[in-house]
């Protein structure tokens, strides 16, 4: 049963870190809400394409106002709980915060494009490899790089640093190591605290924090509490990033140096041969028109 929130309650819950929503998504959502009978399913599908809106949605539904016993990581469940009127109030609140320059929009197109692609690929991979919690795999795919636009806000030269980080990624030099040396922070750390501010489940926040530390995670053979859950999420994410060529879209590189280092361990963990993964990769790319 949905619980209607006022515009004031939504504004209060959304205080803190926000990622600007994708302009075209906002246009489509505004159009839908002005229809005589807004279609909640259409609105939910549009929100699920945008990291900023999805983050605001999950932050809202996980806020103390709802008093949920367990935090929600599923966008669809959050939409069902909030209902259409609260969703429309959320859209209006985010549209106020979504004003950006044309230059920023062009730069962030790389982030938005890869976030949606990786999220959908995570969903497909989770289903095909039999990993549970496919909704959470989608959520991680959408949010894993949510620190990128915030780093870009803080550091105008950030995309140059990120490209350098991808270019020099190796088993001994993580993407985030290059960022740390240049900026004294990195998008995984910023993404982790963003996820915490959105009140995402801790295991999703932890996966965001560690998504460029996957080599160390998969080298660890211990079965510590929560390690299997983390490895499952990271395995799907690293495969999805490689299939969607994040190294080209965000890193502007011709080779996926990070996958070269961690890929064999990921495939061994999932139980896929190189041949099987290549076939799966080709099939997913064909389905998505890449």
In tens, the pLDDT along 98-140 reads 555 667 777 777 887 788 889 989 989 999 988 878 889 988 9
For 64, residues 6+ apart whose C-beta sits below 8 A from its C-beta are none
In tens, the pLDDT along 228-265 reads 889 999 999 999 999 999 999 999 999 999 999 999 99
Q: Match 């190189």 to its residue by tokens.
A: 274
pTM summary value: 0.75
In tens, the pLDDT along 146-159 reads 889 888 888 889 99
Q: In this predicted structure, what is the pLDDT of residue 100?
A: 58
Q: What share of the chain in percent tops pLDDT 70?
A: 87
Residue 96 has pLDDT above 50, yes or no: no
Q: Give Cα separations from 117 to 71, 129, 241, 250 (angstroms).
A: 25, 18, 9, 12
Q: In this predicted structure, what is the pLDDT of residue 1?
A: 44
Give phi and psi for 269, each to the nearest 5: -65, -45
Taking the CA atoms of residue 35, residue 143, residue 280 and residue 218 in that order, the dihedral angle to the nearest 10 degrees is -160
For 197, residues 6+ apart whose C-beta sits below 8 A from its C-beta are 16, 17, 59
> Are 238 and 230 a contacting pair, CB within 8 Å?
no
Domains, the chain, with CATH or none = 7-97 (no CATH), 102-287 (1.10.3210.10)
Name beta bridge partners: 173. 170
Using alpha carbons only, how large is the chain's radius of gyration in Å? 19
> Are 81 and 2 a contacting pair, CB within 8 Å?
yes
Q: Which long-range contacts (CB under 8 A, 24 or more apart) does 98-101 make?
A: 98/20, 98/21, 98/23, 98/26, 98/52, 99/20, 100/20, 100/23
């Amino acid at each position: 049963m949905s619980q209607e929130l006022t515009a004031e309650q939504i504004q209060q819950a959304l205080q803190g870190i926000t990622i600007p929503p994708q302009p075209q998504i906002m246009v489509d959502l505004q159009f839908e809400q002005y229809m005589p009978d807004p279609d909640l399913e259409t609105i939910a599908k549009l929100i699920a394409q945008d990291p900023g809106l999805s983050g605001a949605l999950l932050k809202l539904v996980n806020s103390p106002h709802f008093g949920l016993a367990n935090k929600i990581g599923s966008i669809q469940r959050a939409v069902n709980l909030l209902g259409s009127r609260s969703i429309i109030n959320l859209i209006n609140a985010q549209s106020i915060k979504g004003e950006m320059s044309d230059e920023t929009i062009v730069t962030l197109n790389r982030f938005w494009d890869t976030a949606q692609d990786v999220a959908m690929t995570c969903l497909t991979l989770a289903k095909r490899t039999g990993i549970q919690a496919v909704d959470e795999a989608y959520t991680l795919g959408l949010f894993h790089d949510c620190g990128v636009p915030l780093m870009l806000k803080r550091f105008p030269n950030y995309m140059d640093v990120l490209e350098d980080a991808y270019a020099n990624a190796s088993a001994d030099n993580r993407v985030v190591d290059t960022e740390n040396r240049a900026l004294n922070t990195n998008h995984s750390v910023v993404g982790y605290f963003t996820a915490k501010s959105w009140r995402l489940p801790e295991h999703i926040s932890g996966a965001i924090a560690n998504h460029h530390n996957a080599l160390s995670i998969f080298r660890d053979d211990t079965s510590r509490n929560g390690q299997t859950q983390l490895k499952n999420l990271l395995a799907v994410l690293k495969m999805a990033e490689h299939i969607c060529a994040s190294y080209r879209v965000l890193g502007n590189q011709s080779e996926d140096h990070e996958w070269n280092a961690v890929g064999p361990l990921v495939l061994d963990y999932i139980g896929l041969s190189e041949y099987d993964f290549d076939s799966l990769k080709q099939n997913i790319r064909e389905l998505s028109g890449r």
